[in-house]
Structure 1
Amino acid sequence: MKLLCSTFLFALLSCYSYAQGLKVTGKVTDEKGEPLIGASIVEKGTSNGTVADAGGAYSLTVGYSNATLVVTFVGYNKVERDVNGTATQDFALSDATVLSQVTVVGSRNLNRSSTDTPAPVDVIDIREVTTKQGQLDVNQLLQFAAPSFNSNRQTGSDGTDHVDPASLRGLGPDQTLVLINGKRRHQSSLVNLFGSRGRGNTGTDLNAIPAAAIERIEILRDGAAAQYGSDAIAGVINIVLKETAGQLTVNANAGMFKAKYRFDDKQFDGLNYNINANYGVKIAKKGFLNVTADYNSRDHTNRANTVDNESDLARRQYGDPEIRNAAVYYNAKIPVGTNFQVYSFGGLNERRGDAYAWTRFADDDRNIPSVYPNGFDPIITSKIQDRSVALGVRGVWKSWDIDLSNTYGFNKFHFGVKNSLNRSLGERSQTSFDAGGFQLGQNVTNLNVSRYYKTFLQGLNVAFGGEFRTERYKIFAGEEASYRNYDPAFAGGSQGFPGYSPADVTNRSRSNVGVYVDLEADVTKQFLIDVAGRFENYSDFGSTLNGKLGARFKVSEALAFRGSVSTGFRAPSLAQKYFNSTFTNFVNGQPVEVLLANNNSAVTRVLGIPPLKEETSQNASLGVTFTPTSGLSITVDGYYVKVKDRVVLTGQFSDEDEDIGALLKELRVGKAQFFTNALEYTTTKGLDVIIAHTTPLGFGRLSTTVAANFNWMELGPVNTVPKLAGKEDIYFDERERRFVLASAPPSKINLTFDYSVSKFSSMLRFIRFGEIKLANWDYMLDTYSPKIQTDLTLNYKFTKNFSLSIGGSNILNVYPDMSLPALTESGGAWDPVQMGNNGAFFFTRLGFRF
């Protein structure tokens, strides 16, 4: 593989002396032949572009004769055309109705592109990314495409094994707002517990949305709660669904991991395969219905490793869960007259998962040798149902753009346990259990109104609107044998994951109403300013008012500065307020019953724990964009985020504690923890750097990108209550602090070389993950030193209808540093870290387009 990389680079360099391009000239006009001054002409897949002059004329040298030109102008439909060696290319753009308006997060001005916003916005073309990467789900695609985005594969983390937590800029998964087509997406009903990043958070399950249904993903890397509401402290991810019609796209993907540490002789495992299809039909003249069907399968990996001292082994099975994921999504718009449209989008997703729990060895007190002579490895199963639907009307009335919609989302997580037993039932115990689960429903009614005044200053956009949201959270019980103790001399409940009991059953709801106003003005042709304010009132904790001020100053066409200051908030989720459960944790390899008490439980009342309140934030960012030449662009954005009263999951109080011990013993649990606004504040400082360069090379074009995120977080004092004064080290101990600090590596640097010539393209990428330190059960630090992952993909387009990609992720089979399995939270040689612990992944992909 090293020889292949060396040969590949040598071939590229040897072609450099033959670099050449094709000069393309032409004119951009509207349908009446009037010049479109300032229209954008860009060579697709590069940063090479120009704009039309006062007569609509342009001139652009492209990298090769079969390049594709993309021509855009605000208020007109985009045109893409292959050059095919023709040096003269004229374009006539058709007028765009409301059906063609593009959603760009970060600005409510429909005349604003993502490059003109006063805050940094990444626009990720999913078709381009999926062609060049082996990852099959949205979380992993973004993990390697956007440096500020982080997502972890989990193992030994109960429900989090089945739903990957994800975050922006090192903040919590629930501090990033997710939108679909500009509408708020519901969160998962799962709250992440032990062994996971995003500990104590409830995030959004991005993997419920098939990548094949997505046109692009916009990532706003800036606090935006004043614009979009709760959860937007770290930023906003807007997923834009496909709108194509008259085209069938089918993709088939398959790949496997190469094992490094195994008990058996298998060299490859974790078979991943995916098949998806997307098709759209036209409705009326300018309407459409686009539908996607997707099926993704992922087998177990096993990274239970051989170490010098095999007594340090904690688990016989440790690795990725088995996942079967099926989804159907749609996106539709239907014109109503000339100025209005009815639109709808949504989908269904169902996921089945099997995840390994901790091993019970043959001599374990919780084993029954007559049932399992060699011990057993419990498996936690999941059935996750996720569905959503949005219906709205959008149009223009007396120069006002109006958008009224209603969006409903639902997520249900149902646990099961198999290959297990209830020790207190003895030999008559069953081995499979229904363990119950939880669900979350959310309904959002939203009204947005905006108008652009072209003659006021150099342009003024006025936007205002309101939102009414209701949420309902439920916990439902499992079957009796999954939670009941039938003999106090032994542990009760299903081993691996005790079921939810009737005492855990919860049915809670809340509502909130919000209103906002957003003013965005081009004061001069160089200076833009944006002011936004938002008021929200929640039925369960009260009101909050937040504001934002953003600006961009264009020194020249090549240089601009941008920045913003804002306040923000995040309402504690219903799961954080009302989740309660009793589960089994392993401390130094020994099982301990842990009560996770809700915010209104007997435990929290006795201790005087106050009701949860909202997190508040102060955000500031400052950046520069620089385009010195047509083939080079540089953006640098610094940011500062201070979050006050951060909600976290506390450490575990023992039944030996003088204040809480007697109560815990009465409840027959060894330890207890709960959610609280424990951290007085956290501060996150960081820097995003993106450098993109494109140049002709040989008979093709080489695009080089450096994208990096540098992130530093500090944790403030711990807020305790009088009864727990002096117990700060338990209330929020070193292990919990390290989990928060490890939400993102202190640095992630992505260097990508993308070369294309005629029908052939290739991608070589190096990703460096910075050092992470986690505290183990002995409260010693496990250090995971910096590592570099190498990815390589080759793609060939045989015809316009058929393409083939082959490649590998982490082709040099790099693993994180190893730790002692008995001391890690997960029971494996590694706790979950950003690069993963499965080793090299090799894949192939077939693409069909008709």
Structure 2
Amino acid sequence: MTKIYYALFFILLSLSTFAQKMKVTGRVTDEKGEALIGASVVEKGTSNGTSTDGNGIYTLAVGYSNATLIVTYVGYNKIEKEINGQETQNFTLTDATVLSQVTVVGSRNLNRSSTDTPAPIDVINIQEVTTKQGQLDVNQLLQFAAPSFNSNRQTGSDGADHVDPASLRGLGPDQTLVLINGKRRHQSALVNLFGSRGRGNTGTDLNAIPAAAIERIEILRDGAAAQYGSDAIAGVINIVLKETVNQLTANVNAGMYSAKYRYDNKKFDGQNYNVNLNYGVKIAKTGFLNVTADYNFRDHTNRANTSPIDEISRRQYGDPQMKNTAIYYNAKIPLGKNIQVYSFGGHNTRNGDAYAWTRFADDVKNIPAIYPNGFDPIIASKITDNAATIGIRGVWKQWDIDLSNTYGFNRFHFSVKNSLNTSLGLQSPTSFDAGGFQLGQNVTNLNFTRNYKSVLSGLNVAFGGEYRMERYKIFAGEEASYKTYDQNFAGGSQGFPGFSPVDVTNHGRSNVAAYLDVEADITKKLLVDAAARFENYSDFGSTLNGKLGARYKLTDDIAIRGSVSTGFRAPSLAQKYFNSTFTNFVNGQAVQVLLANNNSAVTKALGIPQLKQETSENASLGITVTPKASSLSITVDGYYVKVKNRVVLTGQFSDEDEAIGPLLKSLNVGQAQFFTNALSYTTTKGIDVIIAHSTPLGQGRFSTTLASNFNWMKLGPINTSPKLAGKENTYFNQRERSFVLASAPPSKINLTFDYTISKLSFMLRFVRFGEIKLTNWNYGSINPDTNQEYTQPEYTDVYKPKVQTDITVNYKFSKQFSLSVGGSNILNVYPNMSKPYLTESGGAWDPVQMGSNGAFLFTRLGLRF
């Protein structure tokens, strides 16, 4: 099948040589009529472009008589103009003011475009992406649009079922910084405890931000702690909100999965529904208020019936049910020619129902009089996420000054349904308030930026400071959710024991930061960027980091770029202070596990030191090829990231351990684990390759994109305390190491074909996921036939490379109405199956590669007035 598609592609390319192009020529000048040399002229929606010569003249062959040209020049306002069949097109650019400059992540230069920076940046137009694929949330949109971005839905993973962990370049979710309109976004209060993604990490809940509110997403694929601060080891994701006015857009989306493995032979499940509205009003001459409302419903999927009945560990295995409601806004109000007040933010509420592991009828933790057939506990959540930024920006003596304050808040409140507290016997309720946790963050920024056009070939200086406060809390559930009333039976709510008063915590910290960023066009060909940042945390001290980057144009078509930097990540408050007692399943058997915080009696008994910051060394080197004479662009970027003292969640120490066994037995728990800087280092090497080509074909345009990421990770020695010397295999064993290594597939390749003709467009995409290996629960256990420990391959689950195929057809009935119909994973491909009793998730698949739901069929109606 794939060979047929490749053959079709090359046939279409050969036919395109007969297509006719329209030649457009003209002159680009400033307001005084003087030529702008080197101004960029690009055909919109393509990589087809050129630049003006010494007289400001350009010539460009375009594919349509109604093509739109985009003209840009550093320091001047952008112009977009439809040519309407006219072969001569002149442009006059006006000098940019503070109200119209655009910030691109990775550069403090307010007029720098994404292609001019010394580090690789992906700019993803959300409207184009949502038109061509069925995914409705930001995590899944990026999973298939950006090869270095990875996110998978989890199941049976407690809180991680409700917030999808996401990462860049195979590093942790907490090693990617998220910005909204260039301002730091707060993290989720959740720390991931289970599953193959983000184990032991905190992260940012991208799905709290509705895709309908987003204009574009910029992904800086480079270490940027020296520029933006903690968490930016792997890179930065900047979400830019919409600014459109006098236009109402609405979208109605619906989809469902093909239920290949349902036990009841149901053909479809996992229905998805989404409705969103966006509208903007103009304020004064250059101000605006843009508002988005979004509702998304996602129903359960179930893929539990995948193996012989004696191996089933869960009767419900699949996506949780989610109801997500959000309202977001973005506003700017001019107070004069060079002063504006701005504000943006929003509110998100998510209600989730996720199935925990099954308690069968004969389970000792079941009460048959209440559940004759056993029961499937449901972990329900109410997640509240609020964010608001307000700031003032203006120009004083040619300095751009930006003062802002951002507050973010995330709260998880758990309840447990269809459950019981066995120690209460027949008096047990079947639903419980289990408590939860929350995180608040307040950030105040003051930034100064100035561009010196006459120094060298352009010099940009930026400096500023930041003050950040964070507070983390755990609040208790009702007594029956955590208490053991009869020591002969299991206590607490089954599926998810509630937080007890012992778990309650309330801790905060603050940090102050200062940075300096200098970016200079030494010549027209050479750009050099240098940045330094100092931060001081109230709980672990100071850090100083730097970055040096450069881009050199070998010719007008070819440039090389690279950077070296140091970075850091402060341990999250959740990693420092989270503690809980929960139920885990080892080879299908329930075990009470204590997750002890860094100041607990357990960690002190083992001599575990206080958590300290992770530090990193980053390097990247790449080349860009953008021939002006053709619609081809090629970028190749290699990278190296070394993270020292990486914070992870340890393995589980048994109550039979001589060091802490008696203590664990006194606490009535079978195992204990904790957060520590267990990994002395990890090294990640990789390469990103993106090739894009666009050409006229008949009366339409045919575009091809090949985007791929390859990465290799290596783990260093284990750091242990003196009391645990020789116990490295428990402290951070092979299972835990394999979870870190499986943070991303070793390769992900995305090949996309787009063809647009008049009102009709087609998209065909192949996504290949590389092989993932995970260590299952057989690791370290005894083979009863040989009385020896299991060895390879008995304790390894191998998920071989798989290819997902997507297709979408879109038709624009008019300027007001469009319809998209398509499917993701239309060939219904699944990862390789494993034994449910031995996987972390309790199903036939862990959350790897393209997921385990199969084909997703969707339709989308778009309206614009």
TM-score with structure 1 setting the length: 0.98
Asked if 1:355 is matched to 2:370, the reply is: no
Distance 2:724 2:432 in 1: 38
The aligned residue for residue 836 of structure 1 is 851
Q: Aligned AA for 2:438?
A: Q
The aligned residue for residue 656 of structure 1 is 656
Q: Aligned AA for 1:360?
A: R
Q: Aligned AA for 1:323?
A: M
Distance 2:444 2:290 in 1: 24
In the TM superposition, what is the alpha-carbon distance from 1:86 to its structure 2 partner?
Answer: 3.2
Farther off after superposition, 173-182 or 336-345: 336-345
8 A Cα contact 2:196 2:743, kept in partner: no
Distance 1:263 1:70 in 2: 55
Q: 1:624 to 1:6 in 2, by over 3 A?
A: closer
The aligned residue for residue 839 of structure 2 is 824
Q: SS at the partner of 1:328?
A: strand
Asked if 1:801 is matched to 2:800, the reply is: no
Asked if 1:76 is matched to 2:76, the reply is: yes
Match for 2:796 among 759, 765, 781? 781
Distance 2:440 2:80 in 1: 41
Q: 1:93 to 1:527 in 2, by over 3 A?
A: closer
- Written as runs of structure 1 = structure 2, the 5 A alignment for 1:499-518 is 499-518=498-517
8 A Cα contact 2:306 2:844, kept in partner: no
Distance 1:772 1:7 in 2: 30
The aligned residue for residue 129 of structure 2 is 129
Q: SS at the partner of 2:547?
A: strand
In the TM superposition, what is the alpha-carbon distance from 1:73 to its structure 2 partner?
Answer: 2.4
Identical columns (%): 79
In the TM superposition, what is the alpha-carbon distance from 1:7 to its structure 2 partner?
Answer: 12
Distance 1:440 1:346 in 2: 17
In the TM superposition, what is the alpha-carbon distance from 1:79 to its structure 2 partner?
Answer: 2.6
Distance 2:235 2:10 in 1: 41
Q: 1:158 to 1:119 in 2, by over 3 A?
A: same
Residues 743-781 of structure 1 show CA distances to partners (whole Å, capped at 9, x for unaligned) of: 000000011111111111111110100000001100200
- Written as runs of structure 1 = structure 2, the 5 A alignment for 1:619-634 is 619-628=618-627, 629-634=629-634
In the TM superposition, what is the alpha-carbon distance from 1:590 to its structure 2 partner?
Answer: 0.4
The aligned residue for residue 51 of structure 2 is 51
Count of residues paired in the alignment = 849
Farther off after superposition, 730-739 or 190-199: 190-199
Asked if 1:328 is matched to 2:327, the reply is: yes
The aligned residue for residue 695 of structure 1 is 695
Q: 1:155 to 1:115 in 2, by over 3 A?
A: same
Q: SS at the partner of 1:100?
A: coil
Q: 1:15 to 1:634 in 2, by over 3 A?
A: closer
The aligned residue for residue 458 of structure 1 is 457
Distance 1:299 1:759 in 2: 33
8 A Cα contact 2:598 2:675, kept in partner: yes
Match for 1:792 among 807, 819, 839? 807
Residues 110-143 of structure 1 show CA distances to partners (whole Å, capped at 9, x for unaligned) of: 2321111111111111111111111000000000
Distance 1:385 1:142 in 2: 23
Q: 1:229 to 1:13 in 2, by over 3 A?
A: closer
8 A Cα contact 1:188 1:204, kept in partner: yes
Q: SS at the partner of 2:813?
A: strand
In the TM superposition, what is the alpha-carbon distance from 1:453 to its structure 2 partner?
Answer: 1.5
In the TM superposition, what is the alpha-carbon distance from 1:340 to its structure 2 partner?
Answer: 1.0
8 A Cα contact 1:356 1:379, kept in partner: yes
Distance 1:843 1:654 in 2: 48
The aligned residue for residue 544 of structure 2 is 545
Q: 1:524 to 1:29 in 2, by over 3 A?
A: closer
In the TM superposition, what is the alpha-carbon distance from 1:12 to its structure 2 partner?
Answer: 5.2
Q: Aligned AA for 1:290?
A: N
Q: 1:524 to 1:57 in 2, by over 3 A?
A: closer
Q: Aligned AA for 2:68?
A: T
The aligned residue for residue 783 of structure 2 is none
Distance 2:98 2:109 in 1: 13
Q: 1:12 to 1:793 in 2, by over 3 A?
A: farther
Asked if 1:726 is matched to 2:741, the reply is: no
8 A Cα contact 1:18 1:699, kept in partner: no
8 A Cα contact 1:17 1:698, kept in partner: no
The aligned residue for residue 785 of structure 2 is none
Q: Aligned AA for 2:840?
A: E
Residues 4-44 of structure 1 show CA distances to partners (whole Å, capped at 9, x for unaligned) of: 97998799579647522222223333455444333222111
8 A Cα contact 1:27 1:58, kept in partner: yes
In the TM superposition, what is the alpha-carbon distance from 1:720 to its structure 2 partner?
Answer: 0.4
The aligned residue for residue 786 of structure 2 is none
Q: 1:623 to 1:4 in 2, by over 3 A?
A: closer
Q: SS at the partner of 1:575?
A: helix
Distance 1:123 1:311 in 2: 49
Distance 1:663 1:207 in 2: 41
Farther off after superposition, 5-14 or 454-463: 5-14
Asked if 1:585 is matched to 2:591, the reply is: no
Which ranges of 4 or more aligned residues in structure 1 deviate by more than 6 Å?
1-11
Residues 618-645 of structure 1 show CA distances to partners (whole Å, capped at 9, x for unaligned) of: 1111111112343111111110000000
Q: 1:219 to 1:680 in 2, by over 3 A?
A: same
Match for 2:826 among 805, 811, 823? 811
Asked if 1:424 is matched to 2:439, the reply is: no
Distance 2:401 2:306 in 1: 62
8 A Cα contact 2:16 2:695, kept in partner: no
Distance 2:17 2:23 in 1: 19
Residues 644-695 of structure 1 show CA distances to partners (whole Å, capped at 9, x for unaligned) of: 0000000000000011100000000000000000000000000001111111
Distance 2:615 2:356 in 1: 37
Distance 2:267 2:511 in 1: 54
Distance 1:803 1:9 in 2: 26
The aligned residue for residue 179 of structure 2 is 179
Distance 2:171 2:407 in 1: 26
8 A Cα contact 1:50 1:630, kept in partner: no
- Written as runs of structure 1 = structure 2, the 5 A alignment for 1:496-575 is 496-575=495-574
The aligned residue for residue 481 of structure 1 is 480
The aligned residue for residue 372 of structure 2 is 373
Give structure 1 stretches of 5+ with no counterpart: none
Q: 1:81 to 1:848 in 2, by over 3 A?
A: farther
- Written as runs of structure 1 = structure 2, the 5 A alignment for 1:182-581 is 182-307=182-307, 309-581=308-580
Distance 1:171 1:614 in 2: 16
8 A Cα contact 1:459 1:523, kept in partner: yes
Q: 1:715 to 1:6 in 2, by over 3 A?
A: closer
Q: SS at the partner of 1:425?
A: helix
Distance 1:63 1:692 in 2: 16
Q: Aligned AA for 1:793?
A: T
The aligned residue for residue 846 of structure 1 is 861
8 A Cα contact 1:103 1:240, kept in partner: no
Residues 174-209 of structure 1 show CA distances to partners (whole Å, capped at 9, x for unaligned) of: 000000011000000000002241100000000000
The aligned residue for residue 784 of structure 2 is none
Give structure 2 stretches of 5+ with no counterpart: 780-794
The aligned residue for residue 749 of structure 2 is 749
Q: Aligned AA for 1:839?
A: G
Q: Aligned AA for 2:814?
A: T
Distance 1:421 1:635 in 2: 57
Q: Aligned AA for 1:570?
A: R
The aligned residue for residue 606 of structure 2 is 607
Q: SS at the partner of 1:799?
A: coil
Q: 1:753 to 1:614 in 2, by over 3 A?
A: same
In the TM superposition, what is the alpha-carbon distance from 1:66 to its structure 2 partner?
Answer: 3.1
8 A Cα contact 2:196 2:742, kept in partner: no
8 A Cα contact 1:157 1:196, kept in partner: no
Distance 1:747 1:6 in 2: 20
Q: 1:118 to 1:9 in 2, by over 3 A?
A: closer
Residues 84-107 of structure 1 show CA distances to partners (whole Å, capped at 9, x for unaligned) of: 433333333344321111110111
Distance 2:800 2:14 in 1: 36
